[in-house]
Amino acid sequence: MRPYNGRMFKKILVANRGEIALRVIEACREMGIRTVAVFSETDRNSLHVRLADEAYCIGPAPARQSYLNIAALMSTAEIAHAEAIHPGYGFLAEDPHFVEVCEESKVVFVGPRHETMIQSGKKLECKKAVSAAGVPIVPGSGALKTEEELLSEARKLGFPLIFKASAGGGGRGMRVVQNEPELLEKFHAVKREAEAAFGDPTVFLEKYIPVARHVEVQILADMHGHVVHWGERECSIQRRYQKLIEESSAPALTKEMREAIWAAAVKAAEVLGYQNAGTVEFLVDESNFYMIEINARIQVEHPVSEMRVGKNLIQEQIRVAAGEKLGYAQKDIKLKGHAIECRLNAEDPSKNFAPSTGRIEIKSLPGGNGVRFDSHIFSGMDVTPFYDSLLAKLVVHAEDRPMAIAKMGNALKRFQIEGIKTTAPLCYEILQHPNFISGNFNTRFLEKNLPGA
Ligand code: ADP
């Protein structure tokens, strides 16, 4: 482990639950940092509570009253003398207000500055800023207020189009429209939905790119102006705009396109004065790529990048949040082999992927050379309906893509649990599909190849 410069945190509060809370706790422990867990009443027996050095109950099961309760989190940080807070992903990870409260309370938020988060949280603003610096973006409108504006923008852009909520996220708030009657019909509904879901009714239109891949770049920046990327991730295997399988490298990109996407991501981070870890997302068609947004947090799929780079991204986040320099340059980052991640969600494929709840009984778990299983599950654990359905991330790393696919197939077979239904069988099916194996797929892979899913 790298020697620290004396300013490293002694104690970090982990404002999350599930696999990511465990991951942060373990990363801290390896660095000699003490950890403070927080939990809701229903999570009392969770692994993250057992593994942290200290744990505090912060409220009842509904997230609003516990994991999203800023007052409870800040007072816990105060009582426990935590010097920093790691937000994980989801919950408050991208809430600029929370970041600001941390900054004002002199508790270090492990993530970007609140100004950056305001900017990245507004897709429209973010697109405008990076586009001015020459990063290609999907052609689209500005904020749409009236029906006249809507029609004139739509006519300029041409159908098909996609409505997006400027403050949207998590694959929600998007609607594809094919013609003018549909456009007018959906306009007010999407505004209302955006207001209800994200507290901001701002919506805009983007040209819908029907045959596109989702390719994103992991970036990491310190406070001293150094930005590096950790290569790209291919995340086109999605169900209802939600990622299911991610991999690095992205198959079927030319060397020129790959390098141009990396450069655009670094440029976007520089323009925004980005600090800490983040992800720049792109859509890629036959010959072009367009930035769609920046996610100002650690992402679920970060392990595929870690496996190739051979560094711990959570520890890198903590180091740069403490003010350390990156200490290495782009040329020092070697991207090795191929990594794939499958998201194992508690969802029932026979019930249109509705959340599956119940008590888990573990029969067998994957493991072995090049197999990583990031999860908080244990036998006897109750899966409740209160939080997101991610149970585990199964990640493999091998010399090349065919070997990684084979390894993932074996690992998925060893994932056997009872008591709830999961997305593991669907992941297995995708992995065997000739169009997945060939690398010839896009974001509509599931609807085209496995229409029942
Ligand atoms: P969110 O912030 O909700 O995750 P994104 O903007 O990241 O939304 O988009 C999520 C997914 O939606 C993309 O990976 C892609 O599959 C699809 N998508 C988004 N914008 C477009 C577009 N302009 N054309 C086609 N598909 C799109």
Measured between alpha carbons, how far is 240 from 341 in angstroms, rounded to an integer? 18
Sequence-distant (6+) residues with CB within 8 A of 429 are: 450, 453
274-314 per-position pLDDT tens digit: 999 999 999 999 899 999 999 999 999 999 999 999 999 99
Residue ranges of the chain that CATH labels 3.30.1490.20 = 139-207
Most informative mutation of 283, 290, 293, 295 for ligand 1 (most atoms within 8 A of CB): 283
Confidence of residue 252 (pLDDT cuts 50, 70, 90): confident
Residue ranges, CATH 3.30.470.20, the chain:
213-449
Q: Which of 116-125, 133-142, 157-166, 419-428 has the lowest mean pLDDT?
A: 116-125
Q: 343 CA distance to ligand 1 centroid (A)?
A: 19
Q: How does the average pLDDT of the chain come out, rounded?
A: 95
Q: Which amino acid is at 99?
A: V
Contacts of 135 (CB under 8 A, 6+ apart): 264, 267, 268, 271, 291
Output the CA 443–ligand 1 centroid distance in Å. Answer: 9
pTM: 0.95
pLDDT tens, position by position, 340-396: 999 999 999 889 999 999 999 999 999 999 999 999 999 999 999 999 999 999 999
Domain ranges in the chain with CATH number 3.40.50.20: 11-110
The residues lining ligand 1, judged by C-beta closer than 6 Å to any ligand atom, are: 138, 162, 168-172, 174, 206-209, 212, 214, 238, 241, 281, 283, 292-293, 443
Any idea which of 3-17, 156-170, 262-276 has the lowest mean pLDDT? Answer: 3-17
pLDDT at 4: 44
- 297 labelled catalytic: yes
Q: What percent of the chain has pLDDT over 70?
A: 99
For domain 139-207, the CATH architecture is 2-Layer Sandwich (3.30)
Q: Which of 213, 239, 297, 319 is catalytic?
A: 297
pLDDT 10s digits, 14-56: 999 999 999 999 999 999 999 999 999 999 999 999 999 999 9
For 11-110, CATH number out of 3.40.50.2300, 3.40.190.10, 2.60.120.430, 3.40.50.20 equals 3.40.50.20
pLDDT per position as a tens digit, 391-448: 999 999 999 999 999 999 999 999 999 999 999 999 999 999 999 999 999 999 999 9
> What is the structure's pLDDT at 168?
87
Indicate the residue type of 35.
T
Across the range 311-320, mean pLDDT stands at 98
335: pLDDT strictly greater than 70: yes
Residue 140: per-residue pLDDT:
95
Confidence (pLDDT) at 1: 34
The whole-number pLDDT of residue 371 equals 98
Query: How confident is the model at residue 173, as a pLDDT?
Result: 82
pLDDT, position 6: 53
Task: Output the CA 214–ligand 1 centroid distance in Å.
Answer: 8
Give the mean pLDDT of 152-173: 92
Pairwise CA distance, residues 126 & 272, whole Å: 8
Using N-to-C axis directions, what is the helix angle for 96-104 and 114-121, rounded to 10°?
170
CATH of the domain spanning 213-449: 3.30.470.20
Q: Is 453 exposed, middle or buried (0-12, 13-18, 19+ CB in 10 A)?
A: middle
Q: Which residue has the CA at smallest separation from atom 21 of ligand 1?
A: 208
Span from the CA of 415 to the centroid of ligand 1 (angstroms): 30
